[in-house]
Amino acid sequence: MTPRTPIFAANWKMNQTLKEVSSFVPKFTEALGRQTTSLEIVIAPAFVHLPAFVNAADGTSIQVGAQNCAPAKSGAFTGEVSAPMLVEIGCQWAIVGHSERRQLFAEDDALVGNRLRAALADGLQVIFCVGETLEERRGGLAEQVVARQLGVLKDVAHPERVAIAYEPVWAIGTGEVATPAQARDMHAFARAKLPSKDMRILYGGSVKPDNAGALLAEPEIDGFLVGGASLDPVGFASVIRNGLASRR
């Protein structure tokens, strides 16, 4: 088994001004300081801010991600952005299947699967999001839902370029975080369903500087997908530092 390098990913959603995007990197790298353990950092600004952020991150180890990826290379798909376009401007990652896309924009497993395959076909790495709603958890359906969502990975061509993000919907933006034990149990369940045991599984949902350590102390948790707390460069750096400190 290859060691699973931790990934810390920022999902900025529909936030930040162009000025904030452009000034983030120096503040963040200063707050993060030099890290001796290996790690990957991915930041996903809004589509319109991607070129500016690629430019801002140039010369650093920060990788750039998009928040979605079209299910086709080109064509009549108003409002979509394709994998070749993302690769061309210097994007390395795409987030696919985020619960806000599934819930607010009615993206189902079939569409999300097509987006995933399209992103991988053009060489992108993918953070593929899964997670149950509160209703599903209360109904005892959490594992069933996550297993169904992971089903699209069954015959995916490049599983080594996919990281899973387990994000219980009830923990996203609510301040209610899954306990380390809840996250660990679901990560272990999800890992058993994956095509490769070397795939990384990130936790997402109200990750903050003060809960990052306890979560990352769980060996099943291979990093985070962070929304709200990633908008502040010092806050995101603290999430990473506190998380990594619990591994030493």
Give contact residues for ligand PGA (rule: CB under 6 A): 11, 167, 172-173, 204-207, 225-229
CB 28 within 8 A of CB 237: yes
Q: Choose the catalytic residue: 98, 100, 218, 220.
A: 98
Q: Choose the catalytic residue: 40, 107, 136, 167.
A: 167
Closer to ligand PGA by CB, 53 or 170: give it.
Answer: 170
Q: How far apart are CA 68 and CA 45, in angstroms?
A: 11
Nearest approach in angstroms of CB 98 to ligand PGA is 6
Closest residue by Cα to residue 159 from 12, 54, 2, 13: 2
Q: How far apart are CA 80 and CA 66, in angstroms?
A: 12
Nearest approach in angstroms of CB 225 to ligand PGA is 4
Closer to ligand PGA by CB, 123 or 173: give it.
Answer: 173
Please give the angle made by the CA atoms of 28, 97 and 247, to the nearest 5 degrees: 45
Closest residue by Cα to residue 128 from 200, 176, 72: 200
Q: Let me know if 98 is a catalytic residue.
A: yes
Is 40 in a helix, a strand, or coil?
strand
Nearest approach in angstroms of CB 228 to ligand PGA is 3
For the chain, how long is the longest CA-to-CA vector? 51
Closer to ligand PGA by CB, 195 or 228: give it.
Answer: 228
Nearest approach in angstroms of CB 175 to ligand PGA is 8
Within 10 A of 213 (CB to CB), how many other CB atoms are there? Answer: 17
Q: Let me know if 167 is a catalytic residue.
A: yes
Closer to ligand PGA by CB, 173 or 197: give it.
Answer: 173
Q: Which residues are catalytic?
A: 98, 167
